[in-house]
Amino acid sequence: MKVIVFAGTQAGVGKTTVAVGVMAALRQRGLRVQGFKVGPDLTDPLLHEAATGRPSYNLDGWMLSKEYNLGRVRRASIDADVAIVEGAEGLFDGVEGDERGSTGEIAKWLGAPVILVLDCASLRPRSAAAVLKGCLAFDDEVVVAGVVLNNTKNEAHAKIIRDAITAADLGVEVYGAVRTLESADGATNFLTTGRGGVSGASSVDRRRQLAIVANKALMAGGGTSLGQSQVVAGGNEDGGAIGHALGHLRGVGGNAASHLIPRTFSGGGGGVRIGVARDAAFCHYYRENLALLEAAGAELVAFSPLAGDSLPTGCKGILFGGGYPEQHANALASNRPLRMAITAFAAGGGVIYGECGGLVFLSQSLTPLEGSTPRPMCGLAPFSTRGVATEHSGYATVTIRQGCPLFPAGAKVRGQVCRNSEIASEP
């Protein structure tokens, strides 16, 4: 099986557009594509899942060991033909100023070739070649097999950058050029909102450009620690699969829309039945955590508070993950039968785990925006919550205090903070 890493020279260069487009194109060719995301991002894996039809997993060199990351890739890819790893930030950007947690570190652990995405919107040709040369020379253990020129203005613009790279004799192939999006938010906006059109190229042209990248990606040099895949030849180069996937993603809101949230699981061992809230309000779950529950024998049953669902029958526990309850406060408050059922479930000794947005739903009330009217929530947690204008996110190390049911007191645990709300008042 082949593993390919898509990385950027820096954040915001269009890795997601290219990676998701390639995933979709490879899937159309009959390949079983497994997606991965470097770092703790919770939204990009949803896009991977829409393109591949398979769960996407996070890889993280700062929170998890090399052995664990490699094991996750093996387990998730056991029946896949190709694995696509989407990087985070720039190729060499680690968490603490070194390579730990970087895309480059993951690529080295996997022994996988890197396809570098270069944002050409504001780069002159020789400067583009210079940036690429620096990335190629920075770490000899990171194998850059090819480069994708993103945000090119037109064919002429792409050609002069190709020519500059060829003249610099860098020994790396240009796998393709992708045209600029009219949207100010670039690739992410195209995938998540569908606002704006494509400047200088039709959507069909853009799909074709990404399909060409997919063809080249299959031929990316270098073996991997997980072995080589059998490459399936053929397929339509017009990028129809990419168009389908990107069209599917156009309906996603500023965060995640309900049609991107899987409502089913792979199935557990028929043991403890656990209800998992899954919709646009509760969409942030690490697939690894869900897989661990299933591996332990849990049967995970999805339900949607936004759709008016009540608690699944026969559950011993309920899981409310993170997401965007502040954007759906009215709908959550309107599902009074569910809120009452949750209160009764807790009173009867049922176990409830609420994380981030899930904890907000379990609070006394939620004020979506400053100055707005508080909406009643489940009333289990002894505090009220409110939405915040700016998302807070980043890595964190916490020291466990006495009374934590998950970890021993004094232990240090690494994780991610990502929140759109805060505790407003507590007794």
Contact 183, 163 (CB under 8 A): no
Can you read off the two tokens belonging to residue 397? 């190390």
Please enumerate in sequence order all residues whose Cβ is within 8 A of that of 44, keeping only pairs 6 or more positions apart, or say none: 16, 37, 56, 86
Percentages helix, strand, coil for the chain (3-state, rounded to 5) are 35, 25, 40
Q: What is the largest CA-CA distance in the chain?
A: 73
Q: How far apart are CA 11 and CA 93, in angstroms?
A: 9
Residues 376, 356: contact at Cβ < 8 Å? no
Neighbours of 12 (CB within 10 A): 14
- Pairing relation of β-strands 273-277 and 317-320? parallel
Q: Burial of 56 by CB count in 10 Å (0-12 exposed, 13-18 middle, 19+ buried)?
A: buried
Segment (H or E) for 12: none
356 as an active site residue: the answer is yes
Q: Looking up tokens 């497994």, which residue turns up?
A: 34
How are strands ordered across the β-sheet holding 173-179? 57-59, 33-38, 82-90, 2-8, 114-119, 144-152, 173-179
Say if CB 35 and CB 54 are below 8 A apart.
yes
Choose, from 356, 378, 404, 418, the residue flagged as catalytic: 356
Q: Give dist(CA 3, CA 10) in Å, integer.
A: 21
**Residues facing residue 119 across a β-bridge:** 150
Which SS3 state, helix, strand or coil, does residue 86 take?
strand
| Helices of type H across 44-202 | 44-52, 66-76, 103-110, 125-138, 155-167, 186-192
Measured CA to CA in angstroms, residue 182 lies from 11, 17, 192 at distances of 19, 14, 14
Question: Are the CB atoms for 364 and 381 separated by under 8 Å?
Answer: yes
Q: Which residues pair with 378 in a beta bridge?
A: none
Catalytic residue positions, numbered:
356
